[in-house]
A = this chain, B = another copy of it.
Amino acid sequence: MTIRVGLCGTGTVGTGCIDIIQKHHDDFLSRYGIDLQLTRICSRSSEVAEAHGLGSLFTSDYREVVSADDVDLLIELFGGTGIAKDVITEALQNGKHVVTANKAVMASSGEEIAAFAHKNNLELGFGASVGGGIPIIGPLKHSLGANDITSIIGIVNGTTNYMLTRMEAGLSYDEALKEAQDNGFAEADPTADVDGFDAAAKIAILAAIGFNVKITIDQVHTEGIRRLSALDLSTAHDMGYAVKLLAITERSGEGVVARVHPAMIPLDHQLASVNGVYNAIYVTGDAVGEAMFFGEGAGAGPAASAVMGDVVDIARRLEKGAPALGGYTVPDNCPVVDISTLEMKYYLRFRVADRPGVLAKMATVFSEYGVSLQSVQQMGNKQRDDVNLVFITHSANEGKINDAIDEILSLDIVTGGAPSVIRVVD
């Protein structure tokens, strides 16, 4: 069966998709009976299409692709929240199946897009929106489909994981960022990565699929890594922890919580050894127990693997004449609740005046807010007249922690401004 594919976007991932279609066309035909044909290529420049001998398929107007009679399936790789959503929705309105790698669109409008596709018996693939080439959306929807998922913890942003790996080796935040930029792992404007927004979009998608609930990126509590220092990472390491930017979603009696923030995890946790630009997603379910999915979270090959995995999978179902399976299933009437409902352990590093009575004052404030302390120690080098004091609390409510911090900051003992705060995941 011939499946005609329109491609929107010819960046690294789009180029990777063209490469796979050209290299493996005959494999798909012999294995699955699928004759995959590129019929339209849309981009700002015709360079990539021409380099692949496909200049005749080129158009710079996406409307030609979404309305073309000779397109059965559209691949959306423009990315971002600009015209990408229009491309996806117009393609669906015109009866095309859609595969997208667009986490921004899926994390904000995924459920409505999936519902429209489902209603019109169209397929919607978005496996590439999370974790690059790592198969995670498919396993959550299928192999793990008999589980009640209880939590998903991901290292889903390669840029920040690379930076934290380098900071653990002693680099400062600025040095690590520059190195990441020099190596092509970070953008010139690193905001989406270092402030956690990229990870937030991904955990919103994972929560929706894993928990069968409606959740969007604006419901994800999001903190980045800008305030972490190499000192925090080495201190954590000495205490037996790695520091990672974790994207976490959990389901409890009250509802679903999704959050992105730096976290300390024990060095013997499987996620602690996920270094550099690698990604990993750690899933806990009531039957499966614990399962982890690890691999390259970005790059042309891995992302194209995920996009084309969806394309081939959809093509196989079309070849069989199978009705669309639908994307999201969100019947579970489960509220999304705020992070303030959680109780966690905290690492708090304050830079304070080095004089008698300071620790006693701080401990008194914590005690007043009902925050009990597991340990406190002085870390790093003494500079002039102040020192670093590192507190590890027992499980405490985030609101109480913040109240205690505010009161401590109002005392005349803190010299270094707001403390470094890292949640501890045991």
Contacts and interface: CB of A to CB of B under 8 A. Distances in A.
A287 interface: yes
A256 B306 CA distance: 25
B24 A309 contact: no
A interface SS class: mixed
A145 B312 contact: yes
Given A212-B31, A291-B294, A312 B146 contact: yes
A288 B292 contact: no
A260 to B, nearest CB: 22
Interface in A122-160: 127, 133-135, 137-139, 142-148
Contacts of A291: 133-135, 293-296
- Copy tally for this chain in the complex stands at 2
Interface stretch (A198-206, A243-251, A325-333, A406-414): A325-333
A62 to B, nearest CB: 24
A356 B292 CA distance: 52
Given A289-B296, A296-B289, A320-B322, A31 B329 contact: yes
A33 B213 CA distance: 16
Interface stretch (A178-186, A297-305, A369-377): A297-305
A255 B79 CA distance: 40
Interface in A27-57: 27-28, 30-32
A266 to B, nearest CB: 13
Contact of A308 (B16, B32, B146, B317): B146
Given A16-B287, A133-B287, 12 more contacts: A31-B332, A133-B289, A133-B291, A146-B308, A288-B295, A288-B301, A289-B299, A289-B302, A291-B293, A291-B296, A292-B292, A292-B293
